[in-house]
Structure 1
Amino acid sequence: MPDPTFDGAIKAIGALEILAAIGLVLPWATGIAPVLTRWRRWARCC
């Protein structure tokens, strides 16, 4: 039988991941607080 505490923790982590993704995309999509998503030419990914 699965542990209900473990299931709740997994669901909470999943919900937090979704909220974090929204928090990264929403300022860029709406133009609110552009300093959070400002792209720099010298910044390199990875």
Structure 2
Amino acid sequence: MLPQEHAETARRELIISNVGTSAMTANQISAIARKINCLAGLASK
């Protein structure tokens, strides 16, 4: 594999892992938001 091909592959893998991380973060944020909504609902009763 040529060095530039290797760099391109590494860059692509990095982008893929960043996309995976941001999707995971979005799921965590929505899970936290649901917990907050649930607690707020319990507090208002």
TM-score, length-scaled by structure 2: 0.59
**Structure with greater helix percent:** 2
Q: How many residues align?
A: 32
Structure 1 segments of 4 or more deviating over 6 A? none
Larger Rg: 2
Gaps of 5+ in 1: 35-46
The answer for the alignment partner of 1:29 in structure 2 is: 28
TM-score, length-scaled by structure 1: 0.58
- 1 CA distance for matches of 2:11 and 2:26? 23
Higher relative contact order (CA 8 A, sep 6+): 1
Pairwise CA RMSD of aligned residues? 2.1
Opposite residue 10 of structure 2, the aligned amino acid is K
